């Protein structure tokens, strides 16, 4: 039974390819998407695996912050999965903000009414009294922006080759401020991005946002070189789809009380048994991973060429 909940935010710092294998379109290796909305997503199993890798790394070194039994309680046994399940439940990563090239301000953080309403529903499991509501939908070819925005020119917003009538809205200010204070890291190096979201947040019509996340992702063409001649190998040309840098995703995180028996397989108490037992303590332990590995994890493919570096940040208003 789920007892405690929180939210993990993932800020994409280098293009991220969480793939689905070969595709049927012109893109050879597309990214994972939701079936009905076609929004980009990352399956929770991959995220949980990376969190476990970070926890495993934290068991090593001169001053380990995790014990091996802690890892087993939180994520499940390493070998015999039939013994007990892990207490941490990791949902799929969902889109919250998607960067789109803008004529003014370099790029805008775009979202939509559909995305914000779904996010509000999901975050309500953690924080029941949000300080903002989703504004009413605008007419076609109109977008909502902050009152201090830097992405419009004479009340016109131009994203890629599309123009919108821009409407300033106080409620967008509140949403942008909440995201800056809760969803983004509160460290000094992220001050620029916390400020930027407050003058570059744009709420688009649902259909327009869907079109951007479908057609404005980053497409990278890759080749393989022959080692002896240093020329392109025959047939070794393919395209990969990536989530662009500065995308913001959120992951619903849940926990149950520990499922691990207090006794070992022989029925006797184990001396190295984890002190983690309640769902709250398990979420606190998982949150401690934000301080490990410089708060970064790598997701998706192309790890050796620097793809998929994301910054972790856990919900401030979740379990303390």
Per residue in 22-40, pLDDT (tens digit) is 665 678 899 999 999 999 9
Residue 266, pLDDT score: 44
CATH topology of domain 1-18+44-91+243-320: Alpha-Beta Plaits (3.30.70)
204 in Cβ contact with 110 (< 8 Å): yes
Residue 132 has pLDDT above 80, yes or no: yes
The whole-number average pLDDT for the span 115-120 is: 96
Q: What digits encode the pLDDT tens for the residues 209-268? A: 999 999 999 999 888 888 888 777 876 688 899 999 999 999 999 999 998 876 454 444
**What band does 271 get if pLDDT is binned at 50, 70 and 90?**
very low
| Tens-digit pLDDT profile for residues 53-104 | 999 999 998 888 899 999 999 999 987 666 788 999 999 999 999 999 999 9
Q: pTM here?
A: 0.90
**Share above pLDDT 70 across residues of the chain, in percent, rounded to a whole number:** 91
Cα distances (angstroms) measured from residue 25 to each of 32, 196, 239, 240, 254: 14, 35, 11, 11, 36
Decide if 14 contacts 307 (C-beta within 8 A): yes
The domain segmentation of the chain, as residue ranges, is 1-18+44-91+243-320, 96-216
The closest of 143, 23, 43 to 91, measured between CA atoms, is: 43
The string of DSSP letters for 129-180 reads: S-S--PPPPPPTTEEEE-TT-SSEETTEEEETTEEEEEEE-HHHHHHHHHII
The percent of residues above 90 in pLDDT, for the chain, comes to 68
CA angle 308, 52, 186 (to 5 degrees): 60
């Amino acid at each position: 039974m789920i007892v405690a909940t929180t939210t993990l935010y993932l800020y994409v710092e280098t293009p991220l390819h969480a793939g689905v294998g070969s595709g049927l379109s012109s893109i050879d290796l597309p990214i994972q998407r939701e079936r009905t909305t076609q929004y980009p997503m990352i399956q929770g199993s991959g995220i949980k695996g990376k969190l476990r890798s970070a926890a495993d790394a934290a068991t090593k070194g001169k001053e380990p912050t995790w014990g091996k039994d802690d890892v087993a309680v939180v994520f499940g046994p390493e070998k015999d999965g039939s013994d007990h399940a892990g207490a941490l439940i990791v949902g799929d990563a969902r889109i919250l903000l998607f960067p789109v090239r803008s004529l003014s301000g370099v790029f805008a953080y775009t979202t939509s009414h559909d995305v914000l309403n779904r996010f509000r529903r999901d975050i309500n499991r953690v924080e029941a009294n949000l300080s903002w509501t989703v504004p009413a939908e605008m007419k076609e070819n109109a977008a909502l922006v902050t009152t201090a925005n830097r992405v419009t020119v004479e009340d016109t917003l131009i994203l890629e080759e599309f123009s919108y009538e821009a409407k300033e809205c106080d409620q967008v200010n509140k949403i942008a401020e909440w995201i800056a204070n809760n969803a983004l890291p509160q460290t000094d190096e992220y001050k620029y991005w916390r400020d930027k979201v407050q003058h570059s947040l744009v709420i688009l019509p649902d259909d327009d946002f869907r079109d951007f996340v479908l057609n404005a992702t980053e497409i990278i063409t890759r080749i393989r070189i022959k080692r002896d001649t240093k020329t392109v190998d025959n047939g070794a040309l393919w395209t990969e789809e990536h989530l662009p840098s500065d995308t913001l995703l959120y992951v619903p995180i849940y926990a149950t009380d520990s499922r691990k028996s207090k006794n070992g397989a022989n029925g006797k108490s184990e001396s190295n048994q984890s002190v983690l037992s309640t769902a709250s303590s398990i979420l606190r332990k998982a949150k401690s991973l934000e301080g490990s590995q410089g708060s970064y994890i790598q997701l998706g493919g192309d790890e050796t060429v620097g793809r998929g570096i994301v910054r972790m940040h856990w919900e401030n208003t979740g379990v303390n």
